[in-house]
Amino acid sequence: MTIHSELEPSDDFGRQITLLELIDRLVGKGVVLHGDITLAVADIDLIYVGLRALISSVSTLEEQETASR
Amino acid sequence: MIWVYALTDRPTAVLPDVTGHDSRRLEQTCTSEFAGVWSNWSCQQAPRPTADDLWCQEAVVEALMTDRTVLPMRFATVLADADELATAMTSRSDSLRTALDRVRGCVEMGVRARFEPSTSSSGCGRLSGTDYLLGRAAERGRADAIAATVHQRLAAASTGADKAVRRGIMPVLVGAYLVPEPQLDRFRTTVRELAADNPDLSIACTGPWPPYSFAEPGGLEP
């Protein structure tokens, strides 16, 4: 794994920061294609939602809506 | 169904020797310009954003970015089949081409800065309520000013920047910076200088990451 914290030692705090950064990126960023997903959070399964509805912020949706007009 | 990890600019390139979720073999669907990398996924099981699954996806994308330009997908991008992926790539070819051009030769660096003043207004026990609130407001203004300065310097050391400023117990600055690989050392040096210049700021820098924050338009500062 090449990901590491540059300024924090490789301790629990550094790993927590890195995991937080990973979650921010994988769940909140990246290319969005139209599609449907089923995400399970904790032990609550089958939270079935439209992909765009789940992970697009209101501002992003507004920008896309404006751009498509 | 298929779980898509990333889009790349090398449809003829051989896939790296790593496996995807549930140890499934990687496959790719190609158009004339792009390749979408995926593995089969059983729809009987809901995607779970566990640390292991997140790191698995990250490992696939990192392996791809060693020899090609990648646009990482958002976690749990599941499509019906390879045909649907090909259709999606073709219908978005203009924006995908623009995004690939923007991130080519660059990596993403993450910076989290937390304001930790050595003398906090909330720590003084004999302040009146008014003085306490005025002190907190001044502290917040100082934190905002420092965050703006830090972000400005890091943005100058990169080709793209994306930030969020949070208050309270959250970090004062959560930034993502698109940095050309030859300029990585310069960027890291800038972070160290900022840490040294601002003793009230706790800074953590992570990366290099695949360019998650720059894969889609929006939120990107020039």
- Are A37 and B188 an interchain contact pair (Cβ–Cβ within 8 Å)? no
Alpha-helix residue ranges (DSSP H) falling in chain B: 51-65, 82-91, 93-103, 129-156, 184-197
Over residues A21-41, mean pLDDT: 72
Report the residue from A7, A19, A35 with minimal CB separation from B51.
Answer: A19
Of A3-12, A32-41, B141-150, B165-174, which gets the smallest average pLDDT? A3-12
Identity at B78, one-letter amino acid code: V
Q: What is the pLDDT of residue B222?
A: 33
Q: Is the complex ipTM more than 0.90?
A: no
Residues of B in contact with A8 (CB under 8 A): 204
The confidence band for A8, taking pLDDT boundaries of 50, 70 and 90, is very low
The confidence band for A67, taking pLDDT boundaries of 50, 70 and 90, is low
- Are A35 and B84 an interchain contact pair (Cβ–Cβ within 8 Å)? yes
The residue to which tokens 């994988």 are assigned: A26
Rounded CA gap, B110 and B89, in Å? 28
Q: What is the pLDDT of residue B199?
A: 84
- Are B112 and A5 an interchain contact pair (Cβ–Cβ within 8 Å)? no
- Which B residues in the span 151-170 are in contact with A, Cβ-Cβ below 8 Å? none
A62 close contact with B: CB closer than 8 A: no
- Are A29 and B47 an interchain contact pair (Cβ–Cβ within 8 Å)? no
What's the whole-model pTM score? 0.79
- Are B215 and A38 an interchain contact pair (Cβ–Cβ within 8 Å)? no
CB A39 within 8 A of CB A27: no
- Report chain B (222 residues): mean pLDDT per 10 consecutive residues: 94 94 95 95 74 91 96 89 92 91 94 76 67 81 84 88 62 86 93 88 90 73 37
Q: What is the pLDDT of residue B132?
A: 82
Share of chain A above pLDDT 90, in %: 0
Share of chain A above pLDDT 70, in %: 28
